[in-house]
């Protein structure tokens, strides 16, 4: 199984999130332990007083996207178009190249734009169906962002939206790598996007996912710290994060700079997650083992793990157990969500970019705010950034509904 097919290399990275819009700057902010949280401006902070979010503040898509009319794109579409733009320019996939060869897009998202969908329907219900806008309707489909980005950047290849909740981004990267590996595509932009909006925020708030939600106590980012004994929930963020992936032969033929490679992907589902059962096999461990087998590397070869832990009590513990079972307890583990927030569909791309930058710079971010490690979490975690000599990283991603994914990345 392992190692079969073509080698998949990474030739570009593009990201925009609360901590910035350049991979090096985002990585530096993570290593500095900066937290991108503040009161929401996208919706009134009176919706849930004191609950902070990691917004892309003062988002100005027109500064990234030259020419054209961006009005047909909603916030999700704009974030995605910017993330893809940054990955394309980093990889050297110019407009001319894209005219010659169809480039594809694999986009992970949990909600696409639930804000557009919500507003479209509310307008029809309150003002009358004749007030529902046909242009908005074309953005209510869950593949709207992928379609809009394809139009904007002229991406004529395979165009697939992947939804698997918070693991959508890693799933998209893994699917893209498999398509290149087996020769179905030569080059793909892959990653994910999630906007912050009232509808998803309120949903998570009412479901009790948010840190200290419902307690009436003003929420500080402190109690949303991954693996911390005092964690009470997650805080939401928004982002777009994409990698340019291509077959090594294609990348070398065009003289592209090679940053690293996708060595393997694995995924598993926990069929007991929805019914609250935790007695079955740990699906995170299974996903990791599958990724390692797919990559043809031993667990001991992994130098660092970027976990998806977001401050959820049971979920972080479950992920930690899966990592410990499949990788061991000694490998350094980090998590970025106490700094950029839970960016759902974008989180896998952000974790991947942070992991690649960590290997590139030799410095891995700590888990900002980590004060006392949960005794249930038997992993090597710290609050401070630390040196890293490894050239192999594992990105893990897990969702409360039971989806688990792992992606093995290598530095060139």
Partner 1 sequence: MDSRARVVVTGIGVVTSVGIGVDEFWRAILAGHTGISPVESFDTSRYAVHLGGEVKGFHPEAYVRRLSLASMARASQLAIAAARLALDDASLSANAMDPAMVGVSFGTTSGEPAMIERFNDMELAGTRDRVGPEFIAQYPCHVIAAHVASELGLSGPNLVIPTACAAGNYALAHALDSIRNDEADAMLAGGSDAFSRITYTGFARLGAIAPVECQPFDKNRRGMVPGEGAAVLLLERLDRAVARGARIYAELAGYGLTCDANHMTAPQGDGATRAMTIAMADAGIRPGEVSYISAHGTGTAVNDRIETAAVKQAFGAAASRVPISSIKSMLGHTMGAASAIEAAACALAVHDDAIPPTMHYETPDPECDLDYVPNESRHVPIDVAMNNAYAFGGNNASVLFRKCRA
Considering only residues 120 to 159 of the shown chain, the ones binding partner 1 according to CB under 8 A are 120-122, 124-126, 128-130, 132-134, 137-144, 146-148, 150-151, 153-159
DSSP state at residue 51:
-
- Closer by beta carbon to partner 1, 144 or else 395: 144
Among 10, 117, 359, 381, which residue interacts with partner 1 (rule: CB under 8 A)?
A: 117
State the burial class of residue 273 (Cβ atoms within 10 Å of its Cβ: 0-12, 13-18, 19+).
Answer: buried
Among 113, 267, 352, 358, which residue interacts with partner 1 (rule: CB under 8 A)?
A: 267
Q: Does 171 bind partner 1 (CB under 8 A)?
A: yes
Total residues binding partner 1 (CB under 8 A)? 84
115 three-state secondary structure? helix
Q: In the bound complex, what is the minimum distance in angstroms from residue 30's beta carbon to partner 1? A: 27
Nearest to 220 by CA among 233, 209, 205, 208: 233
Sequence-ordered strand ranges (E) for 87-146: 104-108
Contact 346, 169 (CB under 8 A): yes
Residues facing 305 on adjacent strands: 333, 394
* Footprint on residues 86-115 left by partner 1 (CB under 8 A): 102, 104-105, 110-112, 114
* Footprint on residues 285-314 left by partner 1 (CB under 8 A): 286, 290
Q: What does the alpha-carbon distance between residue 97 and residue 277 come to, in Å, rounded to a whole number?
A: 50
Torsion of CA 82, 86, 88, 91, to 10 degrees: -170
Q: What does the alpha-carbon distance between residue 322 and residue 252 come to, in Å, rounded to a whole number?
A: 37
Nearest to 48 by CA among 203, 169, 183, 187: 203
Applying CB under 8 A, the span of 12-20, 34-42, 197-205, 315-323 interacting with partner 1 comes to 197-205
Q: Does 272 bind partner 1 (CB under 8 A)?
A: yes
Nearest to 108 by CA among 39, 160, 154, 185: 160
- Closer by beta carbon to partner 1, 60 or else 207: 207
- Closer by beta carbon to partner 1, 199 or else 248: 199
Q: What does the alpha-carbon distance between residue 25 and residue 22 come to, in Å, rounded to a whole number?
A: 5
* Footprint on residues 7-66 left by partner 1 (CB under 8 A): none
Q: Does 208 bind partner 1 (CB under 8 A)?
A: yes
- Give me the 335-374 binding string for partner 1, x by CB under 8 A, dash otherwise: ----------------------------------------
Applying CB under 8 A, the span of 24-32, 221-229, 281-289, 358-366 interacting with partner 1 comes to 281-289
Applying CB under 8 A, the span of 194-202, 235-243, 244-252, 361-369 interacting with partner 1 comes to 194-202
Q: In the bound complex, what is the minimum distance in angstroms from residue 112's beta carbon to partner 1? A: 7
Q: In the bound complex, what is the minimum distance in angstroms from residue 351's beta carbon to partner 1? A: 18
Applying CB under 8 A, the span of 216-224, 328-336, 367-375, 400-408 interacting with partner 1 comes to 400-408
Residues facing 10 on adjacent strands: 245, 260
Whose tokens are 């394309």? That residue is 88
């Amino acid at each position: 199984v392992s190692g079969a097919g073509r080698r998949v290399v990474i030739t570009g990275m593009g990201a925009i999130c609360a901590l910035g819009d350049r991979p090096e700057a985002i990585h530096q902010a993570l290593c500095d332990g900066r937290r991108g949280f503040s009161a929401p401006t996208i919706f009134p902070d009176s919706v849930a007083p004191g609950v902070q979010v990691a917004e892309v503040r003062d988002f100005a898509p027109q500064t990234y996207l030259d020419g054209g009319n961006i009005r047909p794109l909603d916030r999700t579409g704009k974030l995605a178009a910017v993330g893809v733009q940054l990955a394309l320019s980093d990889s050297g996939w110019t407009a001319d190249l894209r005219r010659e060869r169809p480039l594809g897009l694999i986009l992970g998202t949990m909600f696409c734009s639930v804000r557009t969908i919500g507003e479209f329907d509310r307008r029809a219900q309150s003002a009358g169906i004749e007030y529902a806008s046909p242009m908005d309707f074309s953005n209510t489909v869950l593949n709207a962002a992928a379609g809009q980005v394809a139009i904007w950047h002229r991406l004529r290849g395979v165009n697939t939206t992947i939804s698997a909740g918070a693991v959508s981004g890693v799933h998209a990267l893994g699917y893209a790598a498999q398509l290149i590996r087996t020769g179905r595509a030569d080059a793909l932009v892959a990653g994910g996007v999630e906007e912050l909006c009232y509808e998803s925020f309120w949903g998570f708030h009412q479901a009790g996912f948010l840190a200290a939600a419902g307690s009436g106590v003003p929420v500080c980012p402190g109690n949303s710290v991954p693996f911390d004994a005092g964690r009470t929930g997650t805080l939401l963020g928004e982002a777009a994060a994409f990698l340019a992936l291509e077959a090594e032969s294609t990348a070398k033929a065009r003289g592209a700079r090679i940053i690293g490679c996708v060595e393997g992907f694995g995924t598993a589902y926990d069929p007991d997650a929805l019914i609250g059962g935790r007695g079955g096999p740990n699906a995170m461990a299974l996903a990791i083992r599958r990724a390692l087998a797919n990559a043809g590397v031993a667990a001991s070869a992994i130098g660092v793990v970027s976990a998806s832990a977001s401050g959820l009590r049971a979920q972080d513990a479950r992920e930690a157990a899966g990592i410990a079972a499949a990788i061991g307890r000694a490998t350094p583990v980090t998590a970025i969500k106490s700094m950029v927030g839970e960016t759902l569909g974008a989180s896998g791309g952000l974790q991947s970019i942070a992991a690649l930058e960590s290997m590139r710079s030799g410095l891995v971010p700590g888990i900002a705010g980590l004060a006392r490690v949960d005794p249930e979490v038997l992993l090597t975690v710290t609050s401070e950034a630390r040196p890293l000599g490894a050239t192999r990283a594992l990105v893990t991603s897990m969702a409360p509904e039971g989806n688990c994914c792992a992606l093995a990345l290598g530095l060139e």
